[in-house]
């Protein structure tokens, strides 16, 4: 099976974001005001985009957002592959901390990547979130 991860454009992420995360909201809901400033990655299975994530860097911190795997492909390890790749390139860019607003039910998934829950919690559109982060150890 041919699997590859590549850089994609913001508009290329929108369909999966919409289908997977907010199917009941209008399409515009999944667009981010700073989408053009993000680094967008997609995992392709053959030619089909099955998982997307977007990274936004501010100083030495990077936030990833809108992480979504096509519903019928969830649980196959694609999210893990993409998140590992994202962590590697983030670390290589000398970013100190990677963070995300995680859906609370997904916290155990992110904990497996060494991310920890902070006390910052909030609710949006009926979903509970917790800010999770991971600070990379400095390379010698």
Site residues (CB under 6 A) for ligand COA? 20-21, 51, 67-69, 74-80, 102-103, 106, 108-109
Residues 136 and 98: beta-carbon distance below 8 Å: yes
CB of 27 to ligand COA, least distance (A): 16
Residue nearest to ligand COA (CB): 79
Closer residue to ligand COA (CB): 75 or 126: 75
Rounded to whole angstroms, what are the CA distances from 128 to 55, 107, 124? 21, 11, 7
Beta strands in the chain (DSSP E): 3-8, 39-45, 48-58, 61-69, 97-103, 116-124, 127-135
CB of 69 to ligand COA, least distance (A): 3
Spatial distance between the Cα atoms of 82 and 100, rounded to a whole number of angstroms:
15
Closer residue to ligand COA (CB): 10 or 68: 68
Closer residue to ligand COA (CB): 112 or 139: 112
């Amino acid at each position: 099976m041919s699997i590859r991860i590549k850089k994609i454009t913001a508009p290329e992420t929108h369909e999966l974001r919409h289908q997977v995360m907010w199917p009941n909201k209008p399409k515009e809901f999944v667009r981010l005001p700073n989408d053009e400033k993000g680094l967008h990655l997609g995992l392709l299975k053959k030619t089909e985009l099955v998982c997307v994530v977007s990274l936004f860097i501010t100083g030495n911190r990077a936030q990833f957002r809108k992480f979504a795997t096509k519903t019928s492909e969830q649980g196959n390890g694609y999210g893990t592959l993409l998140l590992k790749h994202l962590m590697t390139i983030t670390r290589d860019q000398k970013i100190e901390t990677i963070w995300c607003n995680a859906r609370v039910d997904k916290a155990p998934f992110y904990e497996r990547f060494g991310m920890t829950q902070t006390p910052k919690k909030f609710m949006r559109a009926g979903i509970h979130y917790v800010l999770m982060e991971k600070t990379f150890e400095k390379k010698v």
